Structure 1
Amino acid sequence: MLPLYRVGKKLWIEAHLMGLVNPINRIWLVMPFQEDCLVDEPREAVLPYDEVKRLFAEVKLDELIRNEKNETRLTSLEHMYIPLYNPGRYMARIGGQLSAVTRLTIMKKIQEEVLRMMPSHVPPLKWVQLSIVGNDVITCGSKNPNLTYIFNNDDKARMEIKKLIFKR
């Protein structure tokens, strides 16, 4: 069972893995759930709400965005020689960085909106049942894309999710 604090009508923030995952992956721990698939029965250790809020807020996306933008800048030599060679080569070189900047900017907007929505008082706490099918994490009878991403890209979270599932 995975504990969740309510931050919106159908929006919940995870309250167990938050301190274990890579800070950039904390954004993925905000997920929509229908309340009818959540239970009130406390099972696992839960991070206090203030700690969850602090950990979520400390993700420093501005610095990552700035670093990625700096990587896309042209050097003086590139400015001089860009007309002499295929500009497509340059675009291919920076294409990945441009999409990273876009992705990080979207994540920053999500973080800001969730922080704005998070109540100042301790919100309701519920639990959701987890299972694993292949490399997919299942909640409420279907694949949970957020937890599946965390499961496949964060080793500490993978081990902890397996512990939570097999502890039953």
Structure 2
Amino acid sequence: MKAATRNTTLAALIVLASAGALASGTHAGGHGHDANEAVGKPGVAAKVTRTIHVDMTDTMRFSPADISVRQGETVRFVVKNSGVLRHELVLGTEKELKAHYEAMKKNPEMEHADPNMVTLAAGKTGEIVWQFTKAGKVDFGCLQPGHYDAGMKGAVKVSKAGK
């Protein structure tokens, strides 16, 4: 097994174990996406109710960093990297983000493509379509080494349906 493949496999296992994601309904990267998950589930593009544009910059900030949605809403995030560094937007609980971030610091070249995230090179734009199934707070952050610690994080406030 090549060292890069072994490191990627090891990193994926670390994320799975540290996020406590050994239950059914999970996939590589340690994120379960069933309807009972705290952060929601991948959305269906045909059911998008609105689009939210998010900009990522080399000042290690998201704009906006605070977003409000309603429970049950399906949102298309159009994410642009306005910087010259590689950035990403990953949705999750604070615990999941911190565990994933620690794995990324140990394996900075780790590649992954989960529905709750988009990783972008300088000047690129990407999308996440996400349905917010539970009221509460969903965190997001850039898990590129050094970025999360520098404050590149934000939150989605999910208000109860009908309020």
State TM-score, norm by structure 1: 0.23
Higher helix share: 1
Q: Which has the larger radius of gyration?
A: 1
TM-score (norm: length of structure 2): 0.23
Higher relative contact order, structure no. (Cα contacts within 8 Å, ≥ 6 residues apart)? 1
